């Protein structure tokens, strides 16, 4: 089972009279920074080769402050609280309804969270991109990878409207509509 993947994506944006990028919704809330973080390795706290090990509760695993820390329940609560409102806001800002969107591509955090969001927002399963089996959570690359897979499969093309929504570290979130 793949949890995290390693990927990179590049996007070229150019002017077009037919295609376009809609209005955006952005947000940040720094109060959640401790819930998804690698404490060491930046300018504030340098990487520490001999960082003390800590037992991960309920497991045989150990971690140090050089490793990623995630408070899963807090991240889940943040996601289900913020993402539905973000999607509604971006739809309103672009004067669209869920029914007018051809596909939804969310950050591929994990299957449980994005399926929960899809059901909560009543987005039809056949209009919702989920593809974690092969790549896992590739962080900021997950949306561009999803868009490319949908284009390659023919699921989206000329005239399609795709709502993209990213969320995660910090806390931070953003959404827009792409018109192909």
Reported as a single tens digit per residue, the pLDDT across 4-44 is 788 888 888 888 887 799 999 999 999 999 999 899 998 88
Tokens of 101: 């969107």
- Share in percent of the chain as helix, strand, coil (round to 5): 35, 20, 45
Give the angle 117-143-68 at the CA atoms, nearest 5°: 80
Q: Give the whole-angstrom CA distance, residue 20 versus residue 97.
A: 18
Average pLDDT, the chain: 92
The tens digit of pLDDT for each residue in 157-178 reads 999 999 999 999 889 999 999 9
Predicted pLDDT of residue 158? 93
Q: How far apart are CA 12 and CA 76, in angstroms?
A: 32
Q: Which CATH architecture has domain 20-36+69-179?
A: 3-Layer(aba) Sandwich (3.40)
Q: Quote the strand ranges of the chain, DSSP E.
A: 20-21, 25-28, 36-37, 54-55, 62-63, 69-70, 103-106, 128-129, 161-168, 172-179
């Amino acid at each position: 089972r793949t949890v995290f993947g390693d990927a990179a994506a590049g996007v070229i944006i150019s002017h077009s009279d037919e295609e376009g990028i809609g209005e955006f919704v952005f947000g940040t809330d720094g109060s959640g920074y401790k819930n998804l973080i690698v404490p060491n390795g930046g300018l504030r706290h340098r990487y520490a080769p001999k960082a003390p090990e800590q037992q991960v509760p309920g497991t045989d695993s150990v971690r140090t402050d050089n490793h990623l820390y995630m408070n899963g329940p807090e991240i889940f609560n943040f996601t289900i609280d913020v993402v539905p409102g973000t999607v509604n806001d971006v739809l309103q800002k672009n004067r669209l309804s869920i029914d007018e969107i051809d596909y939804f591509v969310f950050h591929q955090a994990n299957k449980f969270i994005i399926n929960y969001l899809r059901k909560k927002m009543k987005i039809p399963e056949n209009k919702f991109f989920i593809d974690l089996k092969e790549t896992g959570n590739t962080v900021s690359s997950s949306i561009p990878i999803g868009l490319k897979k949908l284009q390659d499969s023919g699921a989206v093309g000329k005239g399609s409207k795709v709502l993209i929504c990213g969320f995660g570290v910090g806390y931070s979130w953003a959404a827009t509509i792409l018109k192909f």
